[in-house]
Amino acid sequence: MLFPTIDFAIFFAVVFTVSWLLNPFPVPWKLFIVAASYFFYAWWDWRFVFLLAAATVIAHVGATAIERTSGTARRVAMWASVAGLLGLLGWFKYYGFFAVNLDNLFRSIGFGHPLPLLAITLPVAISFFTFMAISYVVDVERGVVRRARPIDLAVYLSFFPHLVAGPIVRGTELLPQIRRRRDAAEVEYARAFWLIASGLAKKVVLSSYLSANVVDPVFADPHQHSALEILMAVWGYGVQIYADFSGYTDIAIGIALLLGFRFPQNFDRPYTALSLQDFWRRWHMTLSFWLRDYLYIPLGGNRGTEPRIAANIMVTMLLGGLWHGAAWTFVIWGGIHGVGQVVGRRRRMYRLARGLPTVPVGRRRVALARFATFQFVCLGWLFFRADTVGVAWTMLTRAVTAWGSAPLVTPLAVGAVAIGIATQYVPDGWFDAVLTFFAERRVVVQGAILGLVLLAITTLGPAGVAPFIYYRF
């Protein structure tokens, strides 16, 4: 069930109404939200609700065992739970990838077919709810969060606004909100509607236009396109994936607000970043911080020798790439960012040791740092978007050799890319001023404004809406 559809509008209208009617009754409210969330997830394939339920059971059993034990047994219970959750993720998302690659390896050395090649359907959102379940179990073991009641845990993992594509909300952030009663008078309705409208505009208008008119045609057959078209497609994909994913996040945060919940911020102007380290503090922040807290720091983080720290960075980024998809293109994407972060760290350490500033100083250096960071990020996006490594290599080659006409590079396409980047440089105060203006209007005026915005989105958008990019992760 896609957010920008009539189906979801009807679904949410019912959920919104019943949710607030049941708000005074905690247990019925929780049962209703779980049922509604499972219905939402079952809209794609009802069979996979059992997978979501299995992840919930593993997390609850693990947390219970952790709470009732101590010492080594406590750690064993945590690792057993994490292993069970990763086992589900590994089977559905990575078995085919590793089986095919092992099959190719063993056939090349004459050992036949050691593993059966099975066609396993990838469940929507499995990476997201698995990572949330893992963070919950680990946080219970660390004493950061107390074990939740089964119904609270079920709401936490299945809550439909974040279920399909994040943000990755931690137990410390959402479980306390689930446990307390919400006050409809405290809901920031104006902010919620603003987020939903802006998210729809990003997804339905900007992302869809770039996808259909620039990105998809070039990535589908790069041999037919010139260097300038390939460059425009790569830049266009950088804007498309930002508009698509941040648009989803805006809608999810807005929907959650309408139901009385606050989700963490997931994007903070990522294309204004001055370095790759800065980029990852701004892009998909809930995943970045998850990888930092549950992978990078346990590996050793910034402790130890420089080679050890570099290895920690590379492992984290490679696994972060693999989290996005079971393909070598994602591994290479993670590797590119890993190498970039290692080199960036070495440069910062070198400058720090000599008493030089570790961040750019002055307009010219800041502009150059932002430009270089964006180009490097787009190099990674090329592999991220390409169906195969061969396609990515073809595009890289043609980007420097295939100079010629570029019919896809239209003023509208250039303008769409420019707008997608330029909006990230708009001062926060401007958006706050618009939101304040909207919030201070009467309900009738607010409705008229929203109606005009939705009319504009419907007019400028395509006839149908493609799934959000991160739905497949």
The angle subtended at Cα 203 by Cα 202 and Cα 207, nearest 5°, is 85
Q: Token digits for 338?
A: 């890993």
Domain parsing of the chain, residue ranges: 20-181, 188-274+377-473
pTM of the complete model beyond 0.85 = yes
Assign 235 to helix, strand or coil: helix
Which uninterrupted H or E stretch holds 387?
A: none
| Contact yes or no for 147/23 (Cβ under 8 A) | no
Task: Check if the beta carbon of residue 294 is closer than 8 Å to that of residue 135.
Answer: yes
Out of 162, 225, 284, 324, the active site residue is: 324
φ and ψ of 58, to 5 deg = -60, -45
Close Cβ partners of 262 (under 8 Å, ≥ 6 residues apart):
177, 253, 256
pLDDT of residue 116: 67
CA distance between the termini of the chain: 16
User: At a CB cut-off of 8 Å and minimum separation 6, what does 294 contact?
Assistant: 134, 135, 138
Is there a contact between 194 and 257 (Cβ–Cβ < 8 Å)? no
List the pLDDT tens digit at each of the 473 positions of the chain: 778 788 899 999 999 999 999 999 999 999 999 999 999 999 888 888 999 999 999 999 999 999 999 899 999 999 999 999 999 998 888 877 777 777 777 677 766 666 666 666 777 788 899 999 999 999 999 999 999 999 999 999 999 999 888 799 999 999 999 999 999 988 988 889 989 999 999 999 999 999 999 999 999 999 999 999 999 999 999 999 999 999 999 999 999 999 999 999 999 999 999 999 999 999 999 999 999 999 999 999 999 899 999 999 999 999 999 998 888 999 999 999 999 999 999 999 998 999 888 888 889 999 999 999 999 999 999 999 999 999 999 999 999 998 888 899 999 999 999 999 999 998 878 888 888 888 888 888 888 988 898 888 888 877 767 777 776 66
CA neighbours closer than 13 Å in the CB half-sphere of residue 38: 18
Residue 193, exposed/middle/buried by CB under 10 A (0-12, 13-18, 19+)?
Answer: buried
- CA separation, residue 82 to residues 50, 88, 338 (Å): 18, 10, 25
Q: Does residue 113 have an active-site annotation?
A: no
**Alpha helix (H) ranges present in 354-388?**
363-385
In whole angstroms, give the CA distance from residue 50 to residue 170. Answer: 22
Q: How far is CA 361 from CA 350, 356, 357, 368, 427, in A?
A: 17, 10, 8, 11, 20
Q: How far apart are CA 54 and CA 49, in angstroms?
A: 9
CB atoms within 10 A of CB 440: 10
Are residues 22 and 33 in contact, defined by beta-carbon separation less than 8 angstroms? Answer: no
**H or E stretch at 456:** helix 443-460
How far is the C-alpha of 267 from the C-alpha of 163, rounded, in Å?
Answer: 18
